[in-house]
Structure 1
Amino acid sequence: MITLTAENFDEQVLRSDRPVLVDFWAEWCPPCKMIAPVLEEIDAEYGDRVTIAKINADDHPEITLRYGVLGLPTLNLYSGGEVVRQIKGARPKRMLLAELEGYI
């Protein structure tokens, strides 16, 4: 799992040659903590097909605002430098994978 910052976001996400699932999260967010282990599992199982990354929304508000993230957690799936799917809120693993089907 990659930790993103304003400095590496464009390189790691927008210029990636494969899909990137970005978790916008914050320390104070209980649902963010609930989804973190799910994302680690997906990274372990599907890491050869999709990059899992996270960015602290409080530390990087400019990125959060650029992509219209209003609530946490928000998962944006990027492909070819564009957001192709946005998932708001925590989900169980099977539901999250169902929403990502066709992309990874």
Structure 2
Amino acid sequence: MADWKMICNIEDIPKLGSRVVKSAEGEIAVFRTSSDEVFALRDKCPHKGGPLSQGIVHGTQVTCPLHSWKLHLDSGEVVAPDVGCVRRYPTRVDGNAVFLEI
């Protein structure tokens, strides 16, 4: 059974930005796109461990601030030609509340 936790209001996440949530598994970056879609990924780039939460959000991707690797927010997969992935966490928005499945 899913364990959904309310983490913030959507306005607490800047458009084209992120917010970090701490969990027992480590830090999770919660992203908001320009169209108010919300995605969550482990806050650690698979390349060199850079903080994805400090990256640039564009469309449904984020670019790592360290070495410009791009990752798909909806899957956690790295954009080719690079290879790798990070854990993705399911999110949902109910009204203004953002929920994260942990």
TM-score, normalised relative to structure 1: 0.29
Q: Structure 1 or 2: larger helix share? A: 1
TM-score, normalised relative to structure 2: 0.29
Q: Structure 1 or 2: larger strand share? A: 2
**Bigger relative contact order, structure 1 or 2 (CA pairs below 8 A, ≥6 apart):** 1
